[in-house]
């Protein structure tokens, strides 16, 4: 009589191979993960620019209001274009913005807290806010002529006042000592950052 020992098939041998395979996959993933990360480059800001993340509280609150106001101004402008309004009135004036209670142009408690800015349209799509009090947000320019708002602050004590008679352009604001708010990386920098 031949005696043969039969081992129970409890899956131990296969379990060891599966466990070894999982360990190898995890080890390979840990080794390759650093090579799969996007390269993080900080955007180099020009001397006349400041990141929105680096702004003080009052200016940051003003930027939030101006971004919302920019959307409303652009909507009013588009409505005026659609309805064939006379070309001088394409961009809303201060009276119209105050009538629709659009912050920061309306004279309310927030307006007082931010420095009682005297707002005026100094050129088509250019809105200038001159602070009337010592405390509060710095003088500000909002340009709504583009899809994204272009916001400038007179953060430096050497910044010169802008007026309706001034030549308004990026170069003019830089020459006057104003600081441009930068919201995000440019599309080119975002593309560069996500290359693997």
Instruction: Specify burial of residue 193 (Cβ count, 10 A radius: 0-12, 13-18, 19+).
Output: middle
Mean pLDDT score, 49-76: 91
| pLDDT one-digit tens code per residue, 122-148 | 888 899 999 898 888 889 999 998 999
Place of tokens 């200038």: 128
Q: Where are the domains of the chain?
A: 49-188
Is residue 174 within a helix (H) or strand (E), and if so which, with residue range? helix 170-175
* pTM (two decimals): 0.69
Please provide the average confidence, as pLDDT, over all residues in the chain. Answer: 83
pLDDT class for 87, splitting at 50, 70, 90? low
- Give the span between the Cα atoms of 190 and 196, in whole angstroms: 12
Rg, the chain, Cα only: 30
Mean pLDDT score, 8-31: 86
Contact 52, 63 (CB under 8 A): yes
pLDDT at 152: 92
């Amino acid at each position: 009589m031949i005696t043969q020992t039969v081992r129970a098939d409890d899956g131990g041998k296969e379990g060891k191979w599966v466990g070894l395979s999982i360990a190898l996959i995890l080890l390979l993933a840990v080794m390759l993960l650093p090579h799969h990360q996007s390269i993080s480059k900080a955007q180099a800001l020009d001397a006349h620019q400041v990141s929105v993340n680096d702004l003080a509280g009052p200016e940051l609150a003003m930027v939030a209001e101006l971004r919302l106001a920019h959307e409303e101004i652009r909507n009013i402008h588009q409505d005026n274009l659609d309805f064939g309004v006379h070309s001088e009135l394409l961009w809303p004036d201060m009276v119209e913005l105050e009538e629709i209670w659009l912050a920061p142009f309306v004279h309310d408690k927030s307006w007082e807290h931010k420095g009682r800015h005297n707002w005026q349209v100094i050129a088509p799509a250019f809105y200038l806010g001159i602070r009337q009090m010592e405390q509060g947000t710095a003088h500000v320019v909002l340009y709504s002529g583009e899809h994204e708002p272009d916001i400038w602050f007179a953060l430096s004590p050497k910044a010169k006042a802008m007026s309706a008679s001034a030549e308004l352009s990026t170069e003019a604001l830089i020459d006057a000592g104003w600081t441009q708010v930068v919201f995000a990386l440019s599309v080119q920098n975002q593309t560069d950052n996500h290359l693997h």
